[in-house]
Structure 1
Amino acid sequence: MAKKKNQRSRTEPSLFGGGATAKPSKKKKGGGRKKSRSSAGNPLFRVLRFLSYWGCVAAVWGTIAVAGIVIYYGAKLPPVDEWAVPERAPNVKIVATDGSLIANRGSTGGEALSLDEMSPYIPMAVVAIEDRRFYSHFGVDPIGLARAMATNIAHGGVVQGGSTLTQQLAKNVLLSHAQTLERKVQEALMAIWLEHKYTKDQILAMYLNRVYFGSGAYGVEAASQRYFNKSARDVTLGEAALLAGLLKAPSRLSPARDPEAAEERAQVVLSAMHDQGMIGDSDMATAMAREPTRAPSYWSGAENYVADMVMRQLKPLVGEVDQDLVVYTTLDPGLERDAETTLQAALDKNGAKDRVEQGAVVAIDATGAIRALVGGRDYAESQYNRAATARRQPGSAFKPFVYAAALEIGDRPGSVRNDAPITIDNWTPENYEKTYSGPMTLTNALAHSVNTIAAQLVMEASPGYVVDLAHRLGISSDITPNASLALGTSEVSLLELTGAYTAFMNGGFKVTPYLIETVETDAGKPLYRNDRANPQRVLSSQVAANMNGMLMHVVTDGTGRAAQIPGWQVAGKTGTTQSSRDALFVGFTANLTAGVWVGNDDNSPMKSVTGGKLPAEIWHDFMVKAHKGVKSEPLYGGGRIIDPQPAPAANGNTPDTLVELLGRLGNETPPANVGESQPKQHKRRTLMQLLGGG
């Protein structure tokens, strides 16, 4: 017992630090060494402590460095109070007579739409594929940026971007596209400013109305018109997905370049929309089942010829275009479609066998308003306007001006000339068939397009007088005043030629073909209005009526029979140039004047194409469509010749006394060579003298 007590008394002091024995002292030291090895002496702990310390130091300095970079590059920007989203480039909206869109023109190619105006699928699709946290971030998306960095590192290159839609807007409208650190920093700063300045919907609308969708289309409206030929208001789910998909690579993925690639990307967008709960299973399946969109390589449709003309004419009327405008035109969209489809069908059917590649159609009403204009076979293939810009020889389609001049100096439709070989100043005109018919009236000579008589009439009236009359009626091109102008050797445009014929159709008043009716700002403020009041009379009513009657005989009895329209009086004239390089038919009813030209851009000959064949057939097919449902009206003057030719004998032949007189006329006139010095009324006076007149 004593021993135990002694032991307990020896150990107790060690618990409180006094009188410790050797064993307790060793145990305490051993415990201290064990604790040191599990913490401060552990190498892993020392590494973690080192990394933690220097990580904090790096973070502090990194923050300072980033802040310094932001401050440095931010200081190079203009003051914040000078920041502003620039106005969108002005758009010119061109519309037809029924208010339907012809085209948008300007650097954007489409009008701006609010989110409420455009198809709801468009913003949904763009947000789904480009910036799914658009409505939650503050302009910069740290999560998206981190994900993009991780993806790019994993793939060893840039395969995913971290820019938000707000950053893309800042880049597109406020900054350059240079891939530099400076631009990225400034882009982030401006994105934050945009988020503070505008609502999310405003930012998204600005982005969608400015972003490039490929093939020259900026903004969703331009892209929708370009690829689907419809407004962005009417875009379907599948079409919206295609548009959103283009943003990744607008040129490479354009359906005008690679329809399959565009559709493949659209399906990625649809999957993203589905994954985010924007669309259901059935909607996605329906949209994915659509056929790939195959857009033409360029803007298509003949109405684009008209849009180009409007843009060329706009600046002289209203000055510089510095705001959105609406141009109201005279174009009838139904007639425009009819003209385009008729021309294309005829060339598709006959082009190869007749060796003809191009054509043009113009239709004008009695006031000069252009109701239809097709400048070529396919606008997507060639934007050259063969109706308004090209100048080609009209051939015999120029002869009505010669005959109108003859009527003005005193000839009558029944006046007689001799169809026989003739030489004028070393020029010997020949008829198309290389045959001659002897004496005939001017009406028959025009109906059968007799060259020799037309040349005689030019010299009687004088070439200068014929040129003046053509200009008076609306021909604006330069015309060489010589005898050969009777055969249409001077070049004119189809548009001016058709416009000049309208002076016959409307009873003798000059018209200047025009497209633009009014121009207004987008807010409705008028800037220009066409004034057609008080048209100028350029032909007497009698000459106009007689010309209508004579030109009607071209269609009923002469070279233009293919142009006849059941139930309507039709007047017109065929034209064919040497070696069938050009062929035309220009004609009119009481409702509409129209001109058709066919030929080749390289001026190569067609295969026996004449104005009375393919052009007259195209004219007929178009005008039949144009007059469907329109009440028939007679031509001005009723198609009757006011001063008729002498009545034929009962057997249908000319009376013997007149035959004798015509024979004498043929012997006496014209002289062997008829030149400019020949009295211009020589043959008319001779015939009147033979008939006993003054």
Structure 2
Amino acid sequence: MRLLRHLLVFGIWGSAVLSAVLLAFAWDLPRPEAALATTRRPSVTLEAADGRLLSASGDLYGETVRLTDLPAYLPGALMAVEDRRFRSHFGLDVIGLARAAIANWRAGRVVQGGSTLTQQLAKNLFLTPERSLRRKVQEAILAFWLERRFTKDQLLELYLNRVYLGSGAFGVDAAARLYFGVPARRVTLWQAAILAGLPRAPSRYNPRTDPGAAMRRGAEVLAAMQDAGLITGRQATLEGERMAVPPRPSGDAGWFADWVQADLAEDYPGNGDLVLRTTLDLRLQALVERRLEALLSGPGRAAGARQGAVVILDARDGAVQAMAGGRSYRQSPFNRATAARRQPGSAFKPFVWLAALEGGAGPQDTVSDAPLRLGDWSPGNGQWASRGEITLEQALAHSVNTAAVRLLRQAGGARTVAAVAMRLGVEGRLPAHPSLALGTGEVTLLGLSAAYAAFANGGYRVSPHGVTRAESAERLLAVPMTAPQLSIAPERAAMMRHMLEAVVRQGTGRAAAVAGRRVGGKTGTTQDFRDAWFIGYAMTRAAPLVIGVWLGNDDASPMEAVSGGTLPARLFHDILQEIPP
């Protein structure tokens, strides 16, 4: 009797505590009925920096589809890869959560998620992308509400019509029209697989920005469908072979427009048409595209350089003024300026020199350029003839490898230099090996160029951005932006400018020099001439500009003696000479 009484008391108090906890999490929940009543998602209009129209979104909303309108393999593909027990669970998949928890525990990091389609729908309809315990609990509460309010077919239709699938497209019909030029009811099996693979990471698997990643993800979905018994192994193989994402019709500054719109759902959640004033300078964009094509079709073709990328940004705040992510957007919308990670070669050396300066060295201090062996590794110096001791300024100007490795070791090693580069905004895989001094990490052109801005602007780290003003329904919105942060002591930034200008004045970057202009920069060349870089800056009356250039081939095949000091430096020169001083 006493035990029963204790259990009763415990149950009462437990229910009260649970109710209080749920109330605490639910008090600020949005009204689900109001969100469900909204049927329109924002259109996007991009304006150039001067207000001229850059691009306008097409039919991003599509038609509201019913399950009966769609081929069965489209919702089937979605459930196979996202939520196989959708038809049987009550909003939360206990089995899936347990499986994900075990997989994450074994991996020591998050490698699987356990969210159901209903939870994803709750998040997309009602909540922000914030990652917190409160958000997850609210997501679960709303998932329960949705399961009670709608049938499984209705939930699936809501999801298919509302899910964000990249490039401003909400819903499978809008995405099918955008990526494949057909309505959702006419998509093929492989197209359905690509669409079903997008919700996990719409930006990463976007067919417009990275067709290869989209097709690899589509192949994973086909394998999941085969595993779920929805298609045969032969069907999976045949559909995988048929995958061929059509190129997007060219438009002005397509790479820039895609980059700006990649995170719209996260940056501007909610409803209403968007008008975004961007940082793009149409005159500079046209100049970059014209000069890049002229170089690649002339001397680049003769030297086996088939691709290239160029960015121009304002060194004061990181505003991107021009971006060419390749030779032809129509032929390849893959953005080599933002998505391709390549070894920068000696273009990485300024971070080694900065680490040395921060360790107490000065531009006129000396370092040995003699041969060097570290275990089984010995960096070479190319055509440079050893002089014994040379100044840091000379060593950077002539890109002396053995001096760079010695400076890296004197500054504290690869980890210290990597930390300096990351402090300025370089992101990528930076090996903890002395070869880092020679640029054996992997970086993007935009990230490396933005890091150079701190040398030109007096020591401030900037974050590349492309939007300065956002408006929705005649109401100004907050634009996510990171203010420049002082990351280098101004006197050391001045020393770096002095040495980088010596590179152009008397070193490997002489081809970048423009008469009467103050120019600094660094060349970079990787093994077998697979990548060639020039990252430089120029002082103009309007603003200090950073211009980053990369030349190479998508398959990493070697070019014929194309170093950073040849064609990339020449392209920098050709672009800069047309920019007013």
TM-score (normalised: structure 2): 0.60
Matches within 5 A, 1:136-535: 298-301=248-251, 303-319=253-269, 322-365=271-314, 366-433=316-383, 435-462=385-412, 463-521=414-472, 523-531=473-481, 533=483, 535=484
**Mapped contact 1:594–1:619 kept (Cα < 8 A):** yes
1:554 alignment counterpart: 503
The answer to whether the 8 Å contact 1:105/1:307 transfers is no
The letter of the residue matching 2:283 is G
The answer on 1:580 being equivalent to 2:532 is no
Equivalent residue number for residue 609 of structure 1: 562
**Given residue 423 of structure 2, which amino acid in structure 1 is its aligned partner?**
R
CA contact (8 A) 1:86 1:173 kept: no
| SS class of match (1:471) | helix
CA distance in 1, matches of 2:482, 2:268: 18
Work out which structure has the larger RCO, using CA pairs closer than 8 Å and 6 or more positions apart in sequence. 2
One of 86, 99, 102 as aligned partner of 2:54: 102
Q: Tell me the SS of whatever aligns to 2:326.
A: coil
* SS across alignment from 1:484: helix
Shift in Å, 1:568: 1.0
CA distance 1:324–1:398, change in 2 (3 Å): same
Q: Which runs of 5+ in 2 are unaligned?
A: 1-36, 70-173, 183-245
Q: Distance in 2 between matches of 1:498 and 1:437?
A: 32
Maintained 8 Å contact 2:256/2:323? yes
Alpha-carbon spacing, 1:485–1:106, altered in 2? closer, same or farther (3 Å): farther
Amino acid at match of 2:512: A
The equivalences for 1:614-633 within 5 A come to 614-625=567-578, 627-628=579-580, 630=581
Counterpart Cα distance in 2 of 1:579 and 1:214 = 40
Deviations 1:647-684 (A, max 9, x none): xxxxxxxxxxxxxxxxxxxxxxxxxxxxxxxxxxxxxx
Does the aligned pair in 1 maintain the 2:54–2:252 contact within 8 Å? no
**Which string of whole-angstrom CA distances, capped at 9 and with x for unpartnered residues, describes residues 47-91 of structure 1?**
xxxxxxxxxxxxxxxxxxxxxxxxxxxxxxxxxxxxxx9966642
The number of aligned residues is 372
Say if 1:546 and 1:333 are closer, same or farther in 2 by CA, change over 3 A. same
In structure 2, how many angstroms separate the alpha carbons of the residues matched to 1:383 and 1:213?
A: 17
| TM-score of the pair, normalised by structure 1 | 0.51
1:174 shift after superposition: 9.3
One-letter amino acid of the counterpart of residue 416, structure 2: Y
CA distance in 2, matches of 1:624, 1:174: 54
Residues 103-122 of structure 1 mapped to structure 2, 5 A cutoff: 103-105=55-57, 107-108=59-60
SS of equivalent to 2:368: strand
- Taking the TM superposition and a 5 Å limit, the aligned residue runs for 1:533-682 are 533=483, 535-590=484-539, 591-625=544-578, 627-628=579-580, 630=581
The answer (yes or no) to whether the contact 2:522–2:534 under 8 Å persists in 1 is yes
- 1:174/1:612 CA distance change after superposition, 3 Å: closer
Q: How far does residue 424 in structure 1 lie from its aligned partner after superposition?
A: 1.9
| Equivalent position SS for 2:262 | helix
Q: State the distance in 1 between where 2:464 and 2:477 align.
A: 20
Letter of the 1:345 partner, please give it: A
Instruction: State the distance in 1 between where 2:61 and 2:502 align.
Output: 48
Equivalent residue letter for 2:48: A
Distance 2:418 2:66 in 1: 59
Q: 1:175, 1:617 → 2: CA distance?
A: 57
Give the whole-Å Cα distance in 2 for the aligned partners of 1:571 and 1:367.
18
Q: Distance in 2 between matches of 1:173 and 1:352?
A: 49
**Pairwise CA RMSD of aligned residues?**
2.8
Change (3 A) 1:486 1:173: closer
Structure 1 CA distance, aligned partners of 2:269 and 2:561? Answer: 47
Cα deviation, residue 108, structure 1: 3.7
CA distance in 2 between counterparts of 1:93 and 1:214 reads 16
Segments of structure 1 that go 5 or more residues without pairing to the other structure are: 1-84, 111-171, 179-209, 219-295, 631-694
Structure with greater Cα Rg: 1
TM-fit CA distance, 1:466: 0.8
Distance 1:304 1:109 in 2: 20
Query: In structure 2, what is the equivalent of residue 91 of structure 1?
Result: 43
Q: Classify the secondary structure of the residue corresponding to 1:356.
A: coil
Contact 2:343 2:442 in 1 (8 A): yes
